[in-house]
Amino acid sequence: MNFNGLNSLWLYPIAALSVPAYAVNYFSVTDAQQALFPEAQKFIESPLSLSDEDKDRIKELAGVRQRQDQQPVWRVEAGGELIGWFIVDDVVGKHEYITYAVALSPQGKVLGMEIMSYRETHGDEVRQASWRQQFKGKDVQASFKLGDDIANISGATLSCRNLTDGMKRLLVIHNEYLSKSS
Amino acid sequence: MSFTARLSTLTLSMALSLGLTAPAQSTESLFGFVKGAETLPQGAMELYQIIKRRSDKGQGDYTAYNLSTELEYGVSNRFSAGAAIKMQSLETSGLIIDGYLPKAVDSGLKFSGLEGSMKYMFLSPALDDIGLAGYMSFNYDWVDPHSGQDKDTYSLETELLAQKYFLEGELIWAANAGVEATYADRAEISDLPEDFEWPTDPEMEIELKLGSGLSYRFAPNWFIGLETFYETEFETEVGQERWSWFAGPSIHYGAADWWATLTWFNQLSGGGEQYESQLDDDLHLIEKTKNEVKLVVAFNF
């Protein structure tokens, strides 16, 4: 069989494999802590262990499943007083997990959010302040409908939806577990 | 430098340059045959290289490669359009099928057709309860994909595509339902076997297609799936002329700026027309083969 014309086309997969991995980490945990709580003097690591019953309750209240058994949480203090909570979370992106950090006030309002790693093709706009600021001031009672309350980003709808649902879930976690330990 | 050599050089250069410089853009298909309902965002482009191997008609030797190079563009956030150029090689011997496969062929790779397609997303799978899109493609082929002989074929395909995300997007279901209308006109062959039937009057066919697939992300970037397709053709004189049911596994890797999907399709059952002395009488092997393997590699930019 004559494969003269086929030869170079078989190289497409090889060329594809030469594409460098597109894993971008924008913030370490320490960087995100400093960005979200610049006035903080102390970050006390306070991971939250969640039983199956806890996870079921979070799913019932947030409408989305809690995948992790242990949620990374830091109690944030300044002058010996609680000034908020710093939480790191992962949600499902189209290819990989999206890691983000959230700052909550002691009363459970969103103070800020930073995308720590985002490896998806589209939707890098989720890192922009204009998109992240849509969550600022929201609490567990707020509406979180993507497309209405939170703007969608075309080509990254799944990432936007999962980040939005993730924020709602973290506010439920605060309301159910962290606010009671304040 | 011959045309083939120039094409090879151009393709190689394009593939390598894309591999080295491709910026980050992507939307992708988790399946080889079943289509998803998402479209490219506005302004995004995707270059696909599709290689399909069809083999084994039960007797003799039969191996065909179909290659398609396609460029798709996001016209709006809901509407994308694409154009493709197709190539084919065919090697067959030891099998003659009256009316379909007149003689042994060792054609090598040659240009075989063109395709234009468009897709409109009515509902987004990630935003709405279920994703829904309409798909349409127009094909002009000048090489018969079954026999490798000269044959002008015009076909118009319309499909409804559904897609739904489960488990926050880790499990994806897709389903397709479509109709394809085909007009075909064969060229005469001068050295046919005696009494061999090779109609050269134009013919029209209607084909119905139903497909579905399920894919699961078992590790970051990696998806494994199972997909299936049922196709049946109708013709004026004989009604349902033939049908086939394929199914098989898919594996998909998706990165930020490229992705690849490999699917192995096996014909589980088929019916309708059969060739004389066909041993596998529960398969359709006149126009289909027992096995199809499809590799899709795409770059986003």
Q: Is residue B3 situated within a structural domain?
A: no
Beta carbons of B115 and B86 less than 8 angstroms apart: yes
**Cross-chain Cβ contact B127/A9 below 8 Å:** no
Helix axes A157-173, A52-62, angle to 10 degrees: 120
Share of chain B above pLDDT 90, in %: 76
Is B222 among the domain residues? yes
Task: Give dist(CA B43, CA B49) in Å, integer.
Answer: 20
Quote the CA–CA distance of A112 and A108 in Å, as a whole number: 12
Interface contact flag, A8 B51, Cβ < 8 Å: no
To test the contact with chain B by mutation, choose from A95, A125, A161 the residue with the greatest count of B C-beta atoms within 10 A, namely A95
pLDDT for B17 beyond 70: no
What are the chain A neighbours of B53 within 8 Å (beta carbons)? none
DSSP A74: E
Between CA A70 and CA A61 the distance in angstroms is 18
A97-104, strands of its sheet edge to edge = A42-45, A73-78, A81-92, A97-104, A110-117
The beta-carbon neighbor of A9 closest among B11, B20, B257 is B11
CA distance linking residue A179 with residue A77, whole number of Å: 15
Which of A13, A17, A19 lies closest to B257 in CB terms? Answer: A19
Q: What is the pLDDT of residue A24?
A: 65
Q: For B131-190, how does the pLDDT look when each residue is reduced to its tens digit (9 = 90+)?
A: 999 999 999 999 999 999 999 999 999 999 999 999 999 999 999 999 999 999 999 988
Best interface-test mutation with B: which of A19, A159, A167 has the largest number of B CBs within 10 A?
A: A19
Asked if the interface predicted TM-score (ipTM) of this complex is over 0.95, the answer is no
A chain contacts of residue B51, beta-carbon cutoff 8 Å: 9-10
Chain A contact present for B128, CB below 8 A: no
Instruction: Say which of A11, A14, A19 has its CB closest to residue B22.
Output: A19
pLDDT above 50 for A12: no
Chain B nearest-CA distance from A103, in A, is: 23
Is residue B98 situated within a structural domain? yes
Token reading at B222: 């990696």
Are A77 and A40 contacting, i.e. CB atoms less than 8 angstroms apart? yes
Mean of pLDDT over chain B: 89
- Grade residue A148 by pLDDT with cuts at 50, 70 and 90: confident
CATH number, domain containing residue B155:
2.40.160.40
Cβ within 8 Å, pair B11-A8: yes
pLDDT exceeds 70 at position B19: no
**B123 touching chain A per CB within 8 A:** no
Task: Tell me whether residue B12 is in a domain.
Answer: no
Residue the block writes with tokens 């390598």: B16
Answer whether residue B68 shows pLDDT above 60.
Answer: yes
Enter the pTM of the model.
Answer: 0.84
**Residue type at B172?**
I
- Asked if B129 is an interface residue toward chain A (Cβ–Cβ < 8 A), one would say no
Residue span of the structural domain in which B228 resides: 29-300
Of A9, A91, A93, the CB nearest to B67: A9
Residue A74's pLDDT is 96
- Which of B155, B135, B134, B133 shows the shortest CA–CA distance to B144? B155
If one counts the domains in chain B, the total is 1
For residue A12, give the amino acid letter. Answer: Y
Do the beta carbons of residue A35 and residue B34 sit within 8 Å? no
Give residue B246's Cα distance to chain centre: 13
Lowest model confidence (mean pLDDT) among A15-24, B56-65, B110-119, B181-190: A15-24
CA distance B232 to chain A (A): 31
- The answer to whether residue B248 is domain-embedded is yes
Instruction: Check pLDDT > 70 for residue A46.
Output: yes
Query: What is the C-alpha to C-alpha distance for residues A163 and A97, in angstroms, rounded to an integer?
Result: 10
Q: Are the beta carbons of A119 and B256 separated by less than 8 Å? A: yes
* DSSP assignments along B166-200, one per residue: EGGGTEEEEEEEEEEEEEEEEPP-TTPPTT-----
Distance CA A67, CA A57 (A): 12
Confidence at B4, pLDDT banded by 50, 70, 90: very low
pLDDT for residue B101 is more than 80: yes
Answer whether A4 sits within 8 Å of B8, measured CB to CB.
yes
The answer to which of A119-133, B26-40, B104-118, B192-206 has the lowest mean pLDDT is A119-133
Please report whether residue B62 resides in a domain: yes
* Minimal CA separation from B29 to chain A, in Å: 12
Residue-by-residue DSSP string for A102-140: EEE-TTS-EEEEEEEE---SS-GGGGSHHHHGGGTT--T
Whether B254 contacts chain A with CB within 8 A: yes
What does the alpha-carbon distance between residue A80 and residue A83 come to, in Å, rounded to a whole number? 9
Q: Which of B50, B126, B277, B93 is nearest to A152 (CA)?
A: B126
Of A20 and B190, the one with more pLDDT:
B190
Residue B1 domain-assigned?
Answer: no
At residue A119, the pLDDT reads 80
| Subunit contact A8:B8, Cβ cutoff 8 A | yes
When scoring B91, B109, B259 by the number of chain A Cβ atoms within 10 A, the one with the most, hence best to mutate, is B109
Interface test with chain B among A154, A164, A167, by most B beta carbons within 10 Å: A154
Residues of A in contact with B170 (CB under 8 A): 92
pLDDT value of position B110: 95
